């Protein structure tokens, strides 16, 4: 609280602990005002007498399971059965196998760490020594020395175990470790008031609250899709469900243990890929040819996931993610791959779309946009950018319109029929821990969490750019959508306004809505005053905005973005120092830093890598702090300089890492690993020079030398001609560039 520009009172809180507060005028003669606030305490769950049992899939007897499953005569078992019956039989057999060969443990019980034989022997010796100490047969000092030895051995083993976990490089492991130690309370917290005016405490009540909210979003359509599925003159490639294809896909599944409505997970399918390939191929062939989707595949457990915006206690700040059948997900992958191949072969996917597609990314979309903006600035022309925000876009996809669009791009009738049945009459149940809501039937939307969902949404939104005039640029990343245009005169503003109107009409015709209050305009070096509108409401002008994770301002400076990522990096850095044991070796700390902190610092550096030294210094601060604290405080090194600290930790300066990323991205663009064509970013030399390599880039005169497509040129052109022309793969180039940059001076 402030009084006459002085801070008098502070409320210190953990995140989301205090939801509401207000300041009341002085009640007495005092400099201090009264602060009234509400504190939300997480309610610890009361353990029921009967604990839930969980299956330890990672300790399953998979050699026996594979042998057991291979004994079944699947053709006879599935003979004359429809897809729903086949799925039920297969699920029943797998469930029996799981119950027989996968061990159980009670949820909440800590699984004792399995120590090696030598440590178990020391523990036994210690227990025996304790008994002898009680009988007075040995001295306390003898027992103490054995106790210390035991403690050191256990500590060493735990450190090695932790080092191995972190050293695996799996980003999920380090995030789980940090999350476990940062938050004592997990899950859905107390929710805001129910209709009766009381806070929602019980998990079942929370699940039903979310159910009501999610059902309202997806209740705007029809339950059955009315469409004709007669064979058309489509030219989609035939889909094959051979066992060897299924086995290959199963072996590529992630090691995820999350349960589906079938109580089967992807880890189990991966471990049993060989014996399950045949029964799944029979099931897939049947469901595709008949169009009958097994009921098990149409059931989904919905997990409410916080959007990281607003209050965690407001159920409207959560989005629904579906946990669906893993056997269905493999089938969806086959269908999705086939559709994607069809779209690319016939050039049906919009060039403006960068989301959920091969050779595409957020960074490429940002680079593509910024290239246009900087090109305009070279000609001293400003740009107006309109940022749109769809409201619940994935959940409001109209099924009838989607089927029509699939037919328009000549997807074959069998695939369309299967997709239509897959989307119809689905049953969704909100799940919070072991508590479930009443089921509800979504009438619109593509299920988030499925494999086909994102691709179907891309097809749904694919024709949007066709409704925008060609002189107005469109950029899409799934449902993130922006329009922009060069602004020279007011006439250009009027044309951009026309494009906004077209986008609004397209959304209405396709039964999607924009969140009007979240639509913004960013004027990049444009001084022409013009009030843009959407559906009669003025679009708010902003000086900066978050564009796919990068904060962009109207001067194309990145001070705010650098400040944000530096702050986030320090938060994660401090978590590492606070949570990891002090006895871990330096290499483990460095690995944790690379896995947990570095992704924040290096996200999309191609788009914002600064030329100003003070910003470079700011980006270097987290790594400076990390090396200093690790070496000085954790490992008691004498005071040493930053360069020496980097050598001890085997870390390059962050500026060198950004240079490396620039060169890697350039290599990928020039060699066709990204969808952006080289000529969109770079120009070839206009003269022949035997000293130049065939990938040489011509450097134009520009005022924007600090942008990616200009700043990378000098370094790229200096790469050794004889070596770079021999390189054709990304791993080869990584190794090549690392050898060059290892001795690089970051100040160059």
**Predicted confidence (pLDDT) per residue in 242-298, tens digit:** 999 999 999 999 988 887 888 899 999 999 999 999 999 999 999 999 999 999 999
**Residue 444 counted as domain residue:** no
Least confident of 53-62, 103-112, 196-205, 346-355: 103-112
CB 462 within 8 A of CB 404: no
What pLDDT score was predicted for residue 31?
Answer: 64
Residues 535 and 585 in one domain: no
What pLDDT score was predicted for residue 725?
Answer: 84
> How is residue 431 written in tokens?
């799940």
Question: Among 182, 198, 225, which residue terminates a domain?
Answer: 182
Can you tell me whether residue 221 is helix, strand or coil?
A: coil
For range 322-346, the mean pLDDT: 95
CA dihedral 638, 642, 643, 646 (to 10 degrees): 90
CB 390 within 8 A of CB 481: yes
Spatial distance between the Cα atoms of 173 and 185, rounded to a whole number of angstroms:
19
Residues 627 and 661 in one domain: yes
Residues 177 and 135 in one domain: yes
Spatial distance between the Cα atoms of 599 and 622, rounded to a whole number of angstroms:
12
> How is residue 395 written in tokens?
């959940």
Spatial distance between the Cα atoms of 195 and 275, rounded to a whole number of angstroms:
52
Name residue, tokens 């006879």.
76
Residues 631 and 707 in one domain: yes
For range 222-247, the mean pLDDT: 71
Can you tell me whether residue 427 is helix, strand or coil?
A: strand
Predicted confidence band of residue 444 (pLDDT cuts 50, 70, 90): very high
| Biggest distance spanned by C-alpha atoms of the chain | 99
For range 431-456, the mean pLDDT: 92
Residues 643 and 735 in one domain: yes
Count Cβ neighbours within 10 Å for each residue of 203-241 and write b for 16 or more, e otherwise.
bbbbbbbbbeebbebbeebeeebebebeeeebebeebeb
Higher pLDDT pick, 692 / 218: 218
Q: Look up the pTM and report it.
A: 0.87
Boundaries of domain holding 535: 364-390+460-553
Name residue, tokens 């470079």.
616
Say if residue 6's pLDDT is above 90: no
**Residue 207 counted as domain residue:** no
Mean pLDDT over the full length of the chain: 87
What pLDDT score was predicted for residue 669?
Answer: 95
**Residue 669 counted as domain residue:** yes
Closest CA to 101 of 72, 70, 67, 74: 67
What pLDDT score was predicted for residue 27?
Answer: 52
Residues 651 and 729 in one domain: yes
Percentage helix, strand, coil for the chain under 3-state DSSP, each rounded to 5:
50, 15, 40
Residues 721 and 614 in one domain: yes
**Residue 591 counted as domain residue:** yes
**Residue 568 counted as domain residue:** yes
Predicted confidence band of residue 137 (pLDDT cuts 50, 70, 90): confident
SS (H, E, C) 40-76: CCCCCCCCCCCCCEEECHHHCCHHHHHHHHHCCCHHH
Cβ count within 10 A of residue 289: 13
**Residue 695 counted as domain residue:** yes
What pLDDT score was predicted for residue 47?
Answer: 47
How many structural domains is the chain composed of?
4
CB 223 within 8 A of CB 444: no
CA dihedral 615, 620, 621, 626 (to 10 degrees): 170
Residues 504 and 630 in one domain: no
Q: Tell me how long the chain is.
A: 748
Report the percentage of the chain scoring pLDDT > 90.
60
Higher pLDDT pick, 163 / 341: 341
**Residue 225 counted as domain residue:** no
Question: Among 167, 182, 197, which residue terminates a domain?
Answer: 182
Higher pLDDT pick, 165 / 71: 71
Count Cβ neighbours within 10 Å for each residue of 251-260 and write b for 16 or more, e otherwise.
eebeeeeebb
SS (H, E, C) 228-285: CCCCCCCCCCCCCCCHHHHHHHHHCCCCCCCCCCCCCCHHHHHHCHHHHHHHHHHHHH
* 26-65: pLDDT as tens digits: 555 566 677 776 666 555 444 444 566 788 898 999 999 9
Question: Among 130, 149, 182, which residue terminates a domain?
Answer: 182
* 71-107: pLDDT as tens digits: 999 999 999 999 999 999 999 999 999 999 999 887 6
Residues 563 and 543 in one domain: no
Predicted confidence band of residue 640 (pLDDT cuts 50, 70, 90): confident
Name residue, tokens 């801070």.
7
Higher pLDDT pick, 459 / 216: 459
Spatial distance between the Cα atoms of 12 and 10, rounded to a whole number of angstroms:
6
Residues 662 and 527 in one domain: no
Higher pLDDT pick, 110 / 636: 636
Higher pLDDT pick, 356 / 4: 356
* 367-425: pLDDT as tens digits: 999 999 999 999 999 999 999 999 999 999 999 999 999 999 999 999 999 999 999 99
Residues 595 and 631 in one domain: yes
**Residue 282 counted as domain residue:** no
What pLDDT score was predicted for residue 118?
Answer: 87
CB 383 within 8 A of CB 484: yes
For 49, 326, 537, 592, 595, the CA distances from 175, given in Å and listed in that order, are: 32, 24, 43, 10, 9
Residues 653 and 577 in one domain: yes
* 514-557: pLDDT as tens digits: 999 999 999 999 989 999 999 999 999 999 999 999 999 999 99
Q: Nearest 5°: phi and psi at 570?
A: -65, -40
For 106, 435, 438, 608, the CA distances from 204, given in Å and listed in that order, are: 21, 5, 9, 46
For range 133-160, the mean pLDDT: 88
8-state DSSP, 702: -
Spatial distance between the Cα atoms of 626 and 610, rounded to a whole number of angstroms:
22
């Amino acid at each position: 609280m402030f009084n006459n520009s002085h801070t008098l009172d502070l409320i210190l809180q953990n995140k989301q602990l205090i939801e509401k507060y207000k300041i009341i005028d002085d009640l007495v003669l005092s400099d201090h005002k009264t602060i009234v606030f509400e504190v939300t305490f997480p309610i610890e769950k009361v353990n029921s007498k009967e604990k839930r049992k969980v299956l330890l899939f990672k300790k399953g007897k998979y050699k026996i399971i594979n042998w057991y499953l291979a004994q079944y005569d699947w053709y006879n078992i599935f003979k004359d059965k429809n897809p729903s019956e086949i799925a039920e039989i297969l699920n029943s057999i797998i469930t029996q196998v799981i119950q027989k060969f996968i061990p159980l443990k009670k949820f909440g019980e800590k699984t004792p760490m399995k120590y090696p034989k030598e440590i178990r022997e020391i523990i036994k010796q210690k227990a025996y020594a304790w008994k002898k100490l009680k009988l007075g047969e040995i001295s306390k000092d003898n027992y103490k020395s054995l106790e210390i030895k035991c403690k050191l051995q256990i500590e060493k083993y735990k450190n090695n175990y932790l080092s191995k976990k972190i050293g695996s490089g799996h980003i999920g492991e380090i995030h789980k470790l940090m999350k476990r130690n940062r938050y004592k309370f997990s899950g859905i917290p107390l929710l805001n008031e129910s209709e009766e005016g009381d806070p929602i405490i019980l998990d079942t009540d929370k699940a039903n609250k979310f159910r009501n909210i999610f059902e309202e979003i997806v209740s705007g359509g029809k339950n059955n899709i009315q469409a004709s599925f007669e064979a058309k003159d489509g030219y989609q490639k035939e889909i094959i469900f051979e066992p060897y294809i299924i086995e290959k896909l199963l072996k590529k599944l992630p090691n995820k243990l999350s349960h589906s409505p079938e109580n089967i997970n992807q880890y189990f399918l991966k471990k049993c890929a060989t014996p399950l390939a045949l029964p799944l191929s029979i099931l897939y062939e049947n469901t595709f040819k008949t169009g009958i989707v097994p009921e098990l595949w149409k059931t989904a457990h919905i997990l409410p996931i916080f959007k990281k915006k607003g209050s965690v206690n407001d159920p409207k700040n959560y989005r629904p993610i579906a946990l669906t059948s893993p056997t269905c997900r493999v089938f969806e992958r086959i269908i999705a791959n086939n559709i994607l191949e069809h779209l690319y072969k016939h050039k049906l996917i919009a060039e403006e779309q960068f989301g959920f597609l091969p050779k595409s990314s957020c960074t490429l979309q940002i680079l593509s946009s910024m290239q246009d903006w900087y090109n305009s600035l070279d000609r001293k022309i400003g740009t107006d950018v309109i940022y749109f925000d769809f409201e619940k876009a994935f959940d409001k996809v109209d099924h009838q319109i989607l089927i029509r669009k699939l037919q328009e791009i000549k997807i074959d009738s069998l695939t369309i029929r299967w997709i239509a049945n897959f989307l119809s009459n689905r049953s969704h149940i909100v799940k919070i821990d072991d508590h479930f809501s009443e089921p509800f039937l979504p009438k619109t939307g593509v299920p988030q969490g499925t494999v086909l969902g994102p691709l179907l949404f891309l097809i749904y939104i694919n024709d949007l750019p066709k409704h925008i005039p060609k002189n107005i640029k469109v950029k899409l990343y799934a449902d993130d959508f922006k329009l922009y245009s060069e602004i020279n005169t007011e006439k250009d503003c009027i044309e951009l306004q026309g494009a906004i109107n077209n986008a609004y009409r397209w959304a209405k015709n396709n039964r999607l809505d924009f969140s009007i209050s979240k639509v913004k305009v960013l004027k990049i070096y444009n001084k022409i005053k013009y009030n843009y509108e959407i559906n009669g409401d003025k679009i708010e002008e902003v000086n900066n905005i978050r564009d796919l994770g990068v904060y962009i301002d109207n001067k194309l400076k990145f001070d705010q973005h650098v400040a944000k990522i530096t702050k986030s990096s320090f938060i994660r850095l401090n978590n590492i120092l606070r949570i990891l044991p002090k006895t871990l070796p330096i290499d483990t700390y460095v690995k944790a830093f690379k896995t947990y902190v570095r992704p924040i610092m290096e996200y999309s550096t191609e788009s914002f890598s600064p030329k100003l030294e003070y910003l470079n210094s700011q980006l270097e601060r987290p790594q400076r702090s990390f090396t200093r604290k690790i070496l000085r405080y954790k490992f008691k090194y004498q005071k040493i300089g930053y360069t020496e600290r980097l050598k001890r930790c085997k870390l390059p300066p962050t500026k060198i890492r950004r240079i490396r990323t620039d060169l890697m991205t350039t290599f990928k663009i020039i060699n066709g690993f990204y969808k952006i064509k080289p000529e969109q970013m770079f120009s070839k030399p206009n003269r022949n020079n035997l000293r130049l390599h065939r990938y040489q880039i011509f450097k134009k005169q520009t005022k924007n030398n600090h942008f990616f497509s200009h700043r990378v040129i000098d370094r790229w052109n200096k790469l050794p001609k004889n070596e770079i022309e021999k390189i054709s793969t990304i791993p080869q180039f990584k190794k090549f560039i690392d050898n060059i940059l290892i001795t690089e001076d970051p100040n160059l």
